[in-house]
Amino acid sequence: MLVKTGIIILLLTGFFNVYMAQAAQSQDKVFEEFKETFWKQYWQLNPGYAASLGLTDYAGKLMLPTVSNMKKETKSYQQLLKKLHKFKSDKLSVSNQTDYSLLENTLSSSIWYINTFKAYQWDPSSYNLAGIFDLLLTNEDISKEKRAQLAYNMLESVPDYFAAARKNIERPTREHTELAAAQIKANITMFEKTLPNFMEQAPNGALTDAERNIYGSRLKAATEAVKKYSKWLEDKLKNKKTEWRSFRIGKELYDRKFYFDIQSGYTAEQIFLKAVEEKTILHQKMAKITTQLWKKYFPDILQPEDDKKAIKMMIDRLSLNHVDRNGFIEAIRQQLPTLVQFIKDKSIVYLDPKKPLEVRETPEYMRGVAGASISSPGVFEKSRPTYYNVTPLTDYTAEQAESYLREYNHYMLQILNIHEAIPGHYVQLVYSNQSPSLVKSIFGNGAMVEGWACYTERMMLEEGYGAEQQPELWLMYYKWNLRIVCNTILDYSTHVLDMTEQQAINLLTQDAFQQATEAQEKWQRVQLTQVQLCSYYTGLTEIYDWREEQKQKLGKQFNLRNFHEQFLSYGSSPVPEIKKMMLAEQEKKNKK
């Protein structure tokens, strides 16, 4: 009897295990179906975005930003959120767990943005169609015929779009109104010049003759609508009686926006306080290096007693060590193999030799802001390589070039390459693409992505990269690091603590050693955006602290390469999610 019972129990557990495995599998299957439903609804609600990405099935008229449409939108998101919450996240595959958390955040934050943040009432620059049309027209993945047809469809709604905008705006901020008034010129150019030119060059069969006529009148109506909006903005700015809203969003909105945008384990205030503390520590470290190097660079000058003055002199002196303007791109190209070799020698992270990185001159259409960037294959274009875009300095005057080259001097250029390329953004992207999912590509976490790139700068120096140029390299790194620390202080102080313009400029020029123009630009930016400036430092802090925690916990078993590879294996998930999944995996291993 006993034996029999035993067998039955054994059979049952066996059956149960199989059953559970199937349940887990089918959860993932059902989840995949859910994602499909999600995307269908999402693209239907965002047809302009869909069109610009080449998702021609969903492209049609633009979604009008009317209050009733927004109500419909939030209702859809609420229903999707309800469906999402029926899944038990920990029963899904690791890749789907990430998608789950990203979707949950996307849905809840979209609802919050519409219902609570309400930028559509106070930010006139949020009504901007030039960007959407531009993305569409330059998307080489779609045939010219198709692009012409999509533009033709979308154009029809332009007048209603701007009419809805005027209706929505109640009490704008002056700063966003000024921005909108400046940006609207790009919209006028789009409808008056770019779109007509595009159609002239479009193949004959793209539109029928009748459609071409309608296209002409739609363009005219669109141009008129944009000009009307432009005049309306100008009138608001001229009118002395216009009531403005403050550009500072205040603590309550700030905390919530930080929660949704950054997805951090820290609150905004915690990160702010950490940044304030870090600024002091960085100044101390920089002063120490400055004293250490003083005699080497200024044998005949007495070191000023004021630390910040001395640090500034040292930074300026080291910045003179830079490449020639014509050798800028070549210098970057030549540095990459050195980074690759160092990573191999020190066993820092696996680099896939089948995923090469191509350094190229930034294509014309992407230029505008000088600098360097990584462009990975687009979401729907799998087969092209990753490019490291570097803008040549050809358009600069001698003076501009010199100032730029001093900023990206010999030391800084190496830090830039670590950040953008190896093992920063480019390496993270390669890992991220190994578990390809549309959710991760579209809603990836910015703080994790930027945090990783910033983390690698420090990690590489700690591992001894450029040992022969330390401590100079460290001093430059600290200056670079000080920028993201002060960005965080600036952002929080401006929006929550009423920091004045003068205080902001002092912070950036005196404490972060920035030039006056850079500081002024940053002050413009902080009035127009919120929270984004915190993403770099928050991401870095969270990743660095997590690594230190792991080191402590694992002791001798801690392995830097394993840590990096595991950390990168979850795609661009928020860091707290990654921590959770890493811990779960460790627990699983311990049980075995």
Contacting positions for Zn ion (CB under 5 A): 450, 453
CB closer to Zn ion out of 42 and 408: 408
Q: Closest distance between Zn ion and the C-beta of residue 373, in Å?
A: 8
322, with CB counted inside 10 A (0-12, 13-18, 19+), is buried
CB closer to Zn ion out of 43 and 396: 396
CB closer to Zn ion out of 236 and 440: 440
Q: Closest distance between Zn ion and the C-beta of residue 422, in Å?
A: 13
CB closer to Zn ion out of 332 and 453: 453
Q: Closest distance between Zn ion and the C-beta of residue 524, in Å?
A: 20
Q: What are residue 569's phi and psi, to 5 degrees?
A: -80, 0
Give, rounded to a whole angstrom, the gap between the first and last alpha carbons of the chain. 33
Determine the Cα–Cα distance for residues 425 and 136; give it in Å rounded to an integer. 26
Q: Closest distance between Zn ion and the C-beta of residue 365, in Å?
A: 21
CB closer to Zn ion out of 224 and 407: 407
CB closer to Zn ion out of 96 and 319: 319
Determine the Cα–Cα distance for residues 444 and 439; give it in Å rounded to an integer. 7
Given a contact cutoff of 8 angstroms between Cβ atoms, the answer to whether 359 and 372 are in contact is no
Determine the Cα–Cα distance for residues 263 and 274; give it in Å rounded to an integer. 17
CB closer to Zn ion out of 399 and 587: 399
Q: Which two three-digit tokens encode residue 79?
A: 């229903």
In 239-267, alpha helices (H)? 250-262
CB closer to Zn ion out of 38 and 452: 452
Q: Which two three-digit tokens encode residue 233?
A: 């903005």
Q: Closest distance between Zn ion and the C-beta of residue 528, in Å?
A: 20
CB closer to Zn ion out of 429 and 581: 429
Q: Closest distance between Zn ion and the C-beta of residue 106, in Å?
A: 22
Determine the Cα–Cα distance for residues 244 and 28; give it in Å rounded to an integer. 50
- What single-letter amino acid sits at 521? E
* Total Cβ atoms within 10 A of residue 136: 22
Q: Closest distance between Zn ion and the C-beta of residue 463, in Å?
A: 20
Q: Which region, left, alpha or beta, applies to residue 464 given φ > 0 means left and ψ of -120 to 50 means alpha? A: left
Q: Which two three-digit tokens encode residue 338?
A: 């050195």
CB closer to Zn ion out of 219 and 412: 412
3-state DSSP of 542-587: HHHHHHHHHHHHHHHHCCHHHHHHHHHCCCCCCHHHHHHHHHHHHH
* Total Cβ atoms within 10 A of residue 495: 26
Please state the length of the chain.
Answer: 592
CB closer to Zn ion out of 318 and 453: 453
* Total Cβ atoms within 10 A of residue 389: 18
Given a contact cutoff of 8 angstroms between Cβ atoms, the answer to whether 95 and 35 are in contact is no
DSSP 305: S
Q: Closest distance between Zn ion and the C-beta of residue 145, in Å?
A: 37
Considering only CA atoms, which of 349, 300, 370 is closest in space to residue 459?
349
For residue 471, cis peptide bond before it (omega within 30 degrees of 0): yes
Give residue number: closest CB to Zn ion.
Answer: 453
Q: Closest distance between Zn ion and the C-beta of residue 536, in Å?
A: 7
Q: Closest distance between Zn ion and the C-beta of residue 238, in Å?
A: 40
Which H helix or E strand runs over 357? strand 357-361
Q: Closest distance between Zn ion and the C-beta of residue 450, in Å?
A: 5
Q: Which two three-digit tokens encode residue 41?
A: 């609804």
